Amino acid sequence: MEESNIIVITGANTGIGLETVKSLLRSSQKYHILLGGRNFEKSRLAAESSTSEATSQSSVEPFEVDVESDESIQRAYEAIAAKHPRIDCLVNNAGSSSSTYSLSAKSGASFDAYIQDGSMTARQAWNKAWDVNVTGAHIMTSTFLPLLLRSRDPRLVFLTSGLSSLQGASDPSNPRNIHPPAGLPKTQLFAGYRSSKAGLNMMMVEWAKTLKNDGVKVWAVAPGLLATSLGGDTELLRKLGAQEPSVGGDIIRGVIEGKRDADVGNVVREYLTPIQPW
């Protein structure tokens, strides 16, 4: 009997994480997908919904994990390690925003808009963005590493954003790089989010170096502009050129299934250029 590849995906009860689960279920390859979310009941319902929509040889198992909590991550690891001898791929998706542009600065793990409405201080918003997008993914990776290293073909994926590119953010020809007039007040709609995702890219590079001699393939994936509910008005996003959310799931599945093995250690994408400039 063919052995299933075991895939762990955080933040998978909605958005691009759930689309990745659905894409894997459409694959001809056999997977056992561990669908993680902060709320177990929501994860369970997402797992049931995803499997009811597809005829697949693969399976989905829900689990609970909050990447802002070391204790929650450790509990998730112990529960999974008690049932599974290894994992073959860890997809750090929790907190990802599926689009390179959003109608709302409150989408994904972006908290910049809360500064503007006064519900968070700048320190609170920036710390939370970094905690979810960077620190949480780092602790998740560190904790699950013993299981990942038992795989014959270990893979590690971080979900980033087109907004994380330093070159893109500083390109004077990019119409999205707006220079406001002199004087106060100043508003930076995505500064905390963009900074955290740029930090995540550096973290990915560090993991790629750290795990090179262990044979672990590591990437960050920028899925592009997708019409998910995390981006706000999905119809307007489509008018702006957003693709269907399933496209993002298929991009991540391609990485899991070896499509981008030549590009380890990079931020990979399937629009503009195959590798996102730093």
- The domain spans of the chain are 5-102+129-171+193-275
Tell me how far apart the alpha carbons of residues 137 and 132 are, in angstroms, rounded to a whole number: 7
Mean pLDDT, residues 112-136: 95
Q: What is the mean pLDDT of the chain?
A: 90
CATH numeric code, 5-102+129-171+193-275: 3.40.50.720
Query: Is the model's pLDDT at 100 over the cut of 70?
Result: no
Q: Which amino acids are annotated catalytic?
A: 161, 193, 197
Task: Say what the pLDDT of residue 205 is.
Answer: 98
From the CB of residue 137, how many other CB atoms can be counted at a distance below 10 Å?
Answer: 26
**For residue 244, pLDDT beyond 90:** no
| Reported pTM | 0.92
In this prediction, residue 225 carries a pLDDT of 74
Residue 19 CA: distances (Å) to CA of 15, 70, 105, 227: 6, 26, 22, 12
